[in-house]
């Protein structure tokens, strides 16, 4: 059984009199430990699919099973708890709280868990060290470079030890050296910690780090001809 199973996934938006259908009956399997990149033109539904898998949005139709749990059938409160326990989200523009230090930003998700202060501190400190930003723990976002902010954002996504990490254009706002460093870090998280990573990107250099690259076109996922063969399947 795949870790993530999407079946007949549909998402419909209404804007005025217009109906937008970025996903229509999409099927996708992602195995545990995969590193999947999704590419495609703007508006093709990449971020929509990412948000559905992460439990941030709900589909109009179809189902998503993660680890055997049908997340489309969960109540709002149970879905929020599931997301907190299972998914770490890395945003393109970091989404750090500007009035909190790097440490406080990383600790923030742990406040949703039943952990004592000392355990929260231990986890936050270890995660900051893991991403190579421990020496900036007391700095505010405005005092950090873009690459450093993204490392803090990655630490925040990892601190609760999720099984899935989703990344929406994680290198899109970075210069080339910083982007390369972030991709090295994501590759390590996949290879050394076994995290399942699903990444949306426009950057072919970033996508080359993934096991498999899929292109989303008109609501259909197409495997790239040169993608390395790893356990990710597009279901016909």
**pTM higher than 0.95 for the full model?**
no
- Coil, strand or helix at 236: coil
Q: State the pairing for strand pair 69-70/61-66.
A: antiparallel
Domain 4-233 has CATH 3.40.50.300: yes
Placement of tokens 């948000």 in the chain = 51
Within 8 A by CB and 6+ apart from 76, the residues are: none
Instruction: Give per-residue pLDDT as tens, 61-113.
Output: 999 999 999 999 999 999 999 999 999 999 988 999 999 999 999 999 999 89
Instruction: Give per-residue pLDDT as tens, 128-184.
Output: 999 999 999 999 999 999 999 999 999 999 999 999 999 999 999 899 999 999 999
């Amino acid at each position: 059984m795949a870790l993530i199973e999407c079946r007949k996934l549909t998402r419909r938006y209404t804007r005025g009199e217009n109906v937008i259908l970025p996903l229509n009956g999409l099927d996708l399997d992602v195995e545990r430990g995969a590193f999947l990149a999704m590419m495609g033109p703007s508006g093709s539904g990449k971020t929509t699919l990412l948000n559905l898998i992460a439990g941030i949005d709900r589909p109009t139709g179809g189902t998503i099973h993660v680890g055997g749990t049908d997340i489309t059938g969960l109540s709002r409160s149970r879905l929020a708890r599931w997301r907190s326990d299972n998914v770490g989200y890395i945003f393109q523009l970091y989404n750090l709280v500007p009035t909190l230090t790097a440490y406080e930003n990383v600790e923030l998700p742990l406040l949703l868990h039943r952990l004592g202060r000392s355990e929260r501190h231990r986890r936050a400190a270890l995660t900051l060290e893991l991403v190579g930003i421990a020496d900036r723990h007391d700095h505010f976002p405005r005092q950090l470079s873009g690459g450093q902010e993204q490392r803090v954002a990655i630490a925040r996504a990892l601190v609760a030890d999720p099984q899935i990490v989703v990344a929406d254009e994680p290198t899109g706002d970075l210069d080339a050296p910083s982007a390369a460093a972030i991709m090295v870090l994501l590759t390590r998280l996949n290879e050394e910690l076994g995290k399942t990573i699903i990444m949306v990107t426009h950057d072919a250099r970033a996508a080359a780090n993934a096991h498999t690259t899929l292109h989303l076109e008109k609501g259909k996922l197409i495997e790239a001809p040169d993608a390395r063969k790893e356990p990710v399947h597009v279901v016909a």
